[in-house]
Amino acid sequence: MARVPEPLVVGRVIGDVLDSFTPTTHMSVTYNTKLVCNGLELFPSVVTAKPRVEIQGGELRSFFTLVMTDPDCPGPSDPYLREHLHWIVTDIPGTTDAAFGREALSYEMPRPNIGIHRFVFVLFKQKRRQSINPPSSRDCFSTRSFAAENDLGLPVAAVYFNAQREGAARRR
Amino acid sequence: MAVTMALATATGAAECSRWSMASLKGALPSLPERCTIPTASSSSAPCGHRSLRLSVGLRKPEFQFGSFSGLSPLNPLLSLGLSESMSFEHNFTIIDNGGRVSAMRHGRKVPKLNRPPDQRKALLRGLTTQLLKHGRIKTTRARASAMRKYVDKMITLAKDGSLHKRRQALGYIYEKQIVHALFAEVPDRYGERNGGYTRIIRTLPRRGDNAPMAYIELV
């Protein structure tokens, strides 16, 4: 049963980062037992380490690519460095998690300086076991063109969370 | 205070005794006689003339309240019923919706945000400044929906771009670099869009007081 991707439309993830797609695979991203739902607000201190990404769909023979980007870099009011790339993991076998894949680009801790940033996890299904070359720089990344270059097609799952700079006085 | 002025002119006019009928008549609050007093009296105090002329023009409404000081003088409803000698055009300066004061909130659209008007204006100015600076802020739903009008107003001023509009924006936004940056980038960013420059996304309530929160962002 495909879940309606309305939170992604409302949060303008579909539009800024992705094109409209139908989610076929269920993906769950967990930071230290905190499950990431669309639009959840997390502290940067929570997201320092890479999350546990479980893919509950596909078969063991199918491979997936996970991309994590920040479309509001350096600030949501003027994102001239859209998007900033944080993490690429390729060749993830289905029904497992991202630790079994090949980390093409190492995980970079989110550092939102200005405003509230969205951080998007996008899952693509690979047609075959391929090697993906990571782009030269992390800035000015385009998920659409990355998918087009590596022949990945439309995404199969996406989730996003929000984060802002943790000031010294911020207490929950 | 008006009584002492009348007494002063009366003593200037009639030098014989303080407690004459002329002084008593001058002390009583009656308007047409007070108009003729400066022209009739040959008082030697020039400041008394000027203050009298001022009092004829400006003290006229308050003088009516002063005569009925036993009741609450500032209640417009009571004074409307009791002061029948007031002029017709004077009634409109007290209540301007025809005296319709309702007990319910029907048709009142201004959000009060639980603050007095000066604080409310300052809060909205601060919120629009921060939204224009950061692009996306998280605040309560009531404040986010109250802010929309002012953010759209600022972007419309920037779309116009003239010096007068820039100065109007500088008078509202607290930081002037934000105004200059806004005027520089708005024509490219919002040139084709007519209105609706913000988006509100509702989110989870705040933990401390369960206040419904929302993100407001520039489209």
Residue B49's CB is within 10 A of a number of other CB atoms, namely 15
| Topology given in CATH for the domain delimited by A4-162 | Phosphatidylethanolamine-binding Protein (3.90.280)
Domain parsing of chain A, residue ranges: 4-162
Q: In what order do the strands lie in the sheet with A27-31?
A: A34-35, A27-31, A52-55
Domain with B204 in it: what CATH number? 3.90.1030.10
Give the best residue of B130, B131, B132, B134 to mutate against chain A (max A CB count within 10 A).
Answer: B134
Question: Using 50, 70 and 90 to split pLDDT, how confident is the model at B58?
Answer: very low
In eight-state DSSP terms, residue A110 is -
pLDDT over 50 at B40, yes or no: no
**Averaged confidence pLDDT in chain B:** 74
Q: Quick one: pLDDT at residue A97?
A: 82
In a domain, B188, yes or no: yes
Provide the number of structural domains found in chain B.
1
Residue B35's CB is within 10 A of a number of other CB atoms, namely 13
Q: Quick one: pLDDT at residue A76?
A: 84
What residues make up the domain containing B174? 117-218
pLDDT tens-digit readout, B86-116:
555 555 555 567 778 889 999 999 999 999 9
Q: Quick one: pLDDT at residue B87?
A: 53
Question: Using 50, 70 and 90 to split pLDDT, how confident is the model at A15?
Answer: confident
Note whether A70 contacts B: Cβ–Cβ < 8 A: no
pLDDT tens-digit readout, B121-160:
999 999 999 999 999 999 999 999 999 999 999 999 999 9
Query: With DSSP H G I counted as helix, E B as strand and the rest as coil, what are the percentages for chain B, rounded to 5?
Result: 60, 5, 35
Inter-chain CB proximity A72 and B136 less than 8 Å = yes
Q: What angle do CA B166, B172, B174 make, to 5 degrees?
A: 105
pLDDT tens-digit readout, B3-29:
444 444 444 444 445 556 666 666 666
Matching residue, tokens 């460095």: A81
- Report, as an integer, the average pLDDT of B175-203: 93
pLDDT over 60 at A34, yes or no: yes
pLDDT tens-digit readout, B191-205:
999 999 999 999 999
Q: Which residue from B135, B203, B204 is facing A115, i.e. has the nearest CB?
A: B135
What is the ipTM for the molecules in this complex? Answer: 0.74
Q: Quick one: pLDDT at residue B216?
A: 94
In a domain, B42, yes or no: no
Residue A6's CB is within 10 A of a number of other CB atoms, namely 10
Question: Using 50, 70 and 90 to split pLDDT, how confident is the model at B161?
Answer: very high
Between positions 26 and 85 of B, the ones with CB within 8 A of A are none
Contact B154, B128 (CB under 8 A): yes
Q: Quick one: pLDDT at residue B165?
A: 96
In a domain, B108, yes or no: no
Query: What is the nearest CA distance from A123 to chain B, expressed in angstroms?
Result: 24
pTM of the model: 0.65
Q: How far is residue B3 from each of residues B9, B23, B66, B199, measured CA to CA in Å?
A: 10, 10, 11, 62
The whole-angstrom distance between residue A109's C-alpha and the CA centroid of its chain comes to 13
pLDDT over 70 at B61, yes or no: no
pLDDT tens-digit readout, A126-168:
888 777 777 888 888 888 888 888 888 888 889 999 998 877 6
CA distance A64 to A55: 9
Inter-chain CB proximity A114 and B135 less than 8 Å = yes
- Report, as an integer, the average pLDDT of A79-94: 86
In a domain, B88, yes or no: no
